[in-house]
Every structure is written in structure tokens, then in C-alpha cells.
Amino acid sequence: MKSVDYSDVKRFIFDKELIDLLCYNRKFGELLDYFIQDDFLEIKDNMKLPFFAEIRDYQGAVEKADEKAEWLVKEAKGHDLIETEMAMIVYFLDMFTHTLSVPMVVTKINGKIYRATKTINQAEQLSGANYTVFPDLTEPLLLDMINRWIFCDEDRNPNNYMIKYNSKNQNLILAIDFGNTDLLYKGTKIRGASKKFGWEKKEKTRYLTPLKAENFPVYDMQFYNQRFKYFNKLTGNQLFGIAKKALRYNENKDELAKTITTNLLKRRDYVYKYFSSKIPDVIEKDESYKEMGAAFQKFYG
């Protein structure tokens, strides 16, 4: 039975305009080099801002190479700086693992350090959608939980995702808001339940994912390996290099990058081992596969 290949992101996104918007028009290394340039953005004072951004002292900015690419920027100092650096690492690991998420980077504009988030217009929050019923909404969330578990992002409620529609009126779920990510905690912080698939969190926040634990074993490891196969390709050198570039304005970048690399490799291995122990290798005849086949026809038919 064919299923949607969510890792084939360009085919999945479909529209060139959206591929450009979500930065899949560049190879991973090219995108990393582009975003660590100083002054790749310039402030645009007359840019119309969303209300939530205006009241939080954000400014508008555009890319010098493409003025149609709009960003929201705000000066980053102290805790805001380290939080944004962590979010940038998460964003690049999302890109590496073929996960749809909204670009968030730390960069300099005219000598000042800013947090910058790419503007996604004409999108809606996941909280307004029936994401527990339709496979094309549920399935990306199932895969996304792998990322958030590894990143120790312990509060992923429906407001942390956006839905953007392509020209076929198909749903693209985009992960946003990585402020609760904890890449520096030494340990798993989120442990798998022993009796059946589930998780136990150190923090008291409500969500690790908008979905329930019982949604996960309905799918098999062939499905989840769409995401794990990219996480498992990550090497220590690659992780260290990504982290160090994101931390380039930080005096302790080498020490922090080493800690982050060690933590993420251990968590990656732990989460993969846990899924493999609780999720069946293959589900031959299951209603979920009928739904996945229907979703495949909807997306690619």
C-alpha cells in the first residue's frame, strides 16, 4: 500500500512560490551559509506588521536578495539571544530532517543582533482545524513529535503550528515557536512510558504534541522511519558545526556546541530505540494504511 512520503518535501509542497517561501529552493549547506551572513536582511519601516508583532516591538525587514521575502525582527539580548540561538539550531535540524517549519534565525543588521522570523502570510493556526480526524493533518503531527521529543520542546500545543494551503488546496503543517526548546539539559528529560507507548515529562506543561499517545501505535516503524532515517544520518561533526554557527555571537560557542551535540546524539538514540521497542515494524492490514492510501491519492493523484 502506497503512503504519503512526507520527506519528499518539494513534491509535497508542490508550488514553487511556497518552496521558495519555506527555503527549500536552496540545498541545506547553502541555506546555512546564507542565514549566517550578517546584513542579509534590511529594516523596512513601511512594512505592514501583524498586530501581535506590532505590540511586541517587532520591526519589518526584507531580504536584500529578494525584497518579496519578508521577516519580523526584534533586537536580541540576554535570554532572548540564547533562546533564539537554540531556536535557530532547531530550525536547521528540522530542515536537515525534512520537517516543515518556519525559519527563525539570529543575525546582525547594521551591527545590532536581531532575532528574525520569516513572515508566513495567509496561514491559519492549527487550533482551528480538526487535526485528530483527517490523516493529512494527523500524520505530520505524528512525525513532528519525534523532533520535539529529541529537542526537549515540552509545550507543543496547537498554537505552535500553522496551516498553509498550496494551490491544490492541500494542507501543509508548519512548526513554529521554538522558545521552549531545551538543548542544554543533560539527560533525556522526557522518558518513554514502560508499559505501553507514551511519555513522562519532567516539566508540568500540558503538551509534548497535540495528539494523544494512543494515536502513535496505529502506525508502524516504516512510517516513522520517514523522519528517523534523517535523524540517524546526523553525525557529531555535523551537529557541532550547525550549533557553532548558530552560536557565533556567543563567547562560549565551543563549549555550548559540544554540550548540545552530546545531548542531541544521546536523545536521538534514546527516542529511536524507544519507538522501535513499542511500535510494530510493519502493520500489514490496518485501517490507518487505508487512510494513508486515500491521503496519497489526494496529494499525488
Specify whether the CB–CB gap between 140 and 101 falls below 8 A. Answer: no
pLDDT at residue number 178: 92
- pLDDT over 50 at 266, yes or no: yes
169 or 42: which leads in pLDDT: 42
pLDDT at residue number 202: 75
What are the phi and psi torsion angles at 284 (to 5°)? -75, -50
Chain position carrying cell 527516542: 271
The separation between CA 71 and the C-alpha centre of its own chain, rounded to angstroms, equals: 17
Among 44-53, 181-190, 263-272, top mean pLDDT goes to 263-272
- pLDDT over 90 at 53, yes or no: no
pLDDT at residue number 272: 98
- pLDDT over 90 at 124, yes or no: no
Q: What is the pLDDT of residues 184-238, one digit of tens each?
A: 998 778 999 999 999 998 776 668 899 999 999 999 999 999 999 999 999 999 9
- pLDDT over 50 at 1, yes or no: no
- Reading across the β-sheet that carries 124-125, which strands appear in turn? 124-125, 161-165, 171-175
Q: How many CB atoms neighbour CB 181 within 10 A?
A: 20
- pLDDT over 60 at 96, yes or no: yes
pLDDT at residue number 205: 64
- pLDDT over 70 at 287, yes or no: no
The separation between CA 16 and the C-alpha centre of its own chain, rounded to angstroms, equals: 20
pLDDT at residue number 3: 66
**Residues sharing a CB contact under 8 Å with residue 98, sequence separation 6 or more, in sequence order:** 6, 7, 8, 9, 226, 227, 230
**Residues sharing a CB contact under 8 Å with residue 164, sequence separation 6 or more, in sequence order:** 18, 120, 122, 123, 172, 174
pTM of the model: 0.90
- The C-alpha atoms of residue 65 and residue 88 are separated, in whole angstroms, by 21
**What percentage of residues in the chain have a pLDDT greater than 90?**
69
- The C-alpha atoms of residue 239 and residue 49 are separated, in whole angstroms, by 34
Among 21-30, 52-61, 163-172, top mean pLDDT goes to 21-30
Q: What is the pLDDT of residues 138-160, one digit of tens each?
A: 999 999 999 999 999 988 999 99
pLDDT at residue number 130: 85
293 or 226: which leads in pLDDT: 226
- CB burial of residue 99 (10 Å; 0-12, 13-18, 19+): buried
Residue 283 confidence class, pLDDT cut points 50, 70, 90: confident
- CB burial of residue 219 (10 Å; 0-12, 13-18, 19+): buried
Residue 55 confidence class, pLDDT cut points 50, 70, 90: low
